[in-house]
Chain A
């Protein structure tokens, strides 16, 4: 148990729809990163938030957006869903600021299927 929870666990959407995935970090963890993990691949960095500000973004289009809230929860929003967005979405939180080289604690993920 890492103390990081995600909801929902599974989700089925159709192409063109919008989705919001939620993550609840450990209390006090100011940094949260979101990853997309396709089947058989390593996690791919989507973006990172530190104290409610975006602090870096991977190679994902603007239809992937996020928010981080003062209560250590965060959201990943994806608009105009495409078939290729089908994947496991993971959030990971850490205590210190980005670059502090601390353990990232991963949640169990949300498995999204886009039909």
Chain B
């Protein structure tokens, strides 16, 4: 079952902040975040691991709550270049406590940043 992302879409002005959430019904080993611009391949942003720390890439950071099986992506002081569709991909925990090694992606959150 795919993770659920919220909101489905968000519109911002340059400089504003946004939060994108990703929630899974399965126990997770990791969460991977990607951004995809129209007509292009998804581009890697960051990976959050079970037991790991909050990650940051420039003005984008993310957290991972293992107990709630949720991750959030925080976009601070948004720039025009942040526009695109954001996907979380989850890698679930198997019975042995390791990962299955394959990603299940959410349906995406469309982020639009206006000047």
Query: Does residue A68 face the partner (Cβ distance < 8 Å to B)?
Result: no
- Complex Cα spacing A105 to B44, Å: 7
Q: Are B42 and A41 in contact (CB under 8 A)?
A: no
Residue of B nearest to A42 (CB): B105
Bound together, the chains give a CA A63 to CA B4 distance in angstroms of 29
Across the interface, which residues of B come within 8 angstroms of A56, CB to CB?
Answer: 100-102
Chain A residues in 8 Å Cβ range of B43: 2, 106
Interface check A55, CB cutoff 8 A = yes
Do A58 and B102 form a contact, CB below 8 Å, given A42-B2, A101-B30, A107-B41? yes
By size class, the interface of chain B is 20 to 34
Q: Chain B 72-89 against A: per-residue CB contact (8 Å), 1 yes, 0 no?
A: 000000000000000101
A101-B47, A101-B91, A103-B47 given; A43·B101 CB < 8 A: no
The reply to whether the CB of B49 lies closer than 8 angstroms to some CB of chain A is yes
- A109 in the interface (beta carbon within 8 A): yes
Q: Which residues of B contact A98 (CB under 8 A)?
A: 100-102
* Contact digits for B22-48, partner A, Cβ 8 Å, 1 yes 0 no: 000000011010100000111110010
Known contacts A101-B30, A103-B47: A48-B101 contact under CB 8 Å: yes
Residue A90 is within 8 A (CB to CB) of chain B in the complex:
yes
Question: Is the C-beta of B104 less than 8 angstroms from some C-beta in chain A?
Answer: yes
A81→B2 CA distance, assembly (Å): 25
Cβ of B53 to closest chain A Cβ, rounded Å = 14
Chain B residue at minimum C-beta to C-beta distance from A47: B102
The 3 closest A-B pairs by CB, nearest first: A98-B101, A99-B101, A42-B105
- In the complex, 11 of the A-B residue pairs with CB atoms within 8 angstroms, ordered by the A residue number, are A40-B107, A42-B2, A43-B42, A44-B105, A55-B101, A99-B99, A100-B101, A101-B30, A103-B44, A104-B32, A107-B41
